Amino acid sequence: MQWYPHLAFNDQCETAFHFYEKCLGGKIVLMMRYMEAPMETPPEMKEKVVHATFAVGDQMFSGSDVMPANYLKPQGFHIQLNLKDAAEAERIFRTLAENGSVGMALQETFWAQRYGAVVDQFGVPWEINCGKEN
């Protein structure tokens, strides 16, 4: 079994995935528009993303633009990134925080060299965790 989170966006999936490419160093491996899907779609959704896949190493997540009436703001979860390098944790945290909101500043904790929580500019909640050396 492998976890494969799916993120729902309110008309910002393409922009978010390009941002994640720069921030996380990953790659968009698929981006399909509603007009390419074999289903009836309202005209205003034709250019929107029906499915996108993002990969960093062997880890992946997907996303899409949902119909405006079906969009729900993410809550009750975070995507946690576990890093080994404190400088990289700081860079990613700073980038995700741009035009977003910081819930907990990136800092040393009893379990981590660095830990922080942020909601990015697209409304996606993240936790950045850089564990302590054993």
Q: Quick one: 23 and 45 in the same domain? A: yes
Residue 124 forms part of a structural domain: yes
Neighbours of 1 (CB within 10 A): 3
Query: Which amino acid is located at 96 in the chain?
Result: L
Q: Quick one: 52 and 23 in the same domain? A: yes
Domain-terminating residue out of 44, 69, 94: 69
State how many domains the chain has: 2
Neighbours of 16 (CB within 10 A): 22
Residue 84 forms part of a structural domain: yes
Domain-terminating residue out of 15, 39, 69: 69
Q: Quick one: 20 and 61 in the same domain? A: yes
The model carries a pTM of 0.93
CATH of the domain at 36: 3.30.720.100
- 8 A C-beta contact, residue 104 and residue 120: no
DSSP-assigned beta bridge partners for residue 117: 104, 127
Distance of CA 20 to the CA centre of its chain: 7
Question: By residue range, what is the domain housing residue 22?
Answer: 6-69
Tokens of 122: 């697209």
First to last CA, the chain: 28
What tens-digit pLDDT sequence spans the chain (134 residues)?
888 999 999 999 999 999 999 999 999 999 999 999 999 999 999 999 999 999 999 999 999 999 999 999 999 999 999 999 999 999 999 999 999 999 999 999 999 999 999 999 999 999 999 998 76
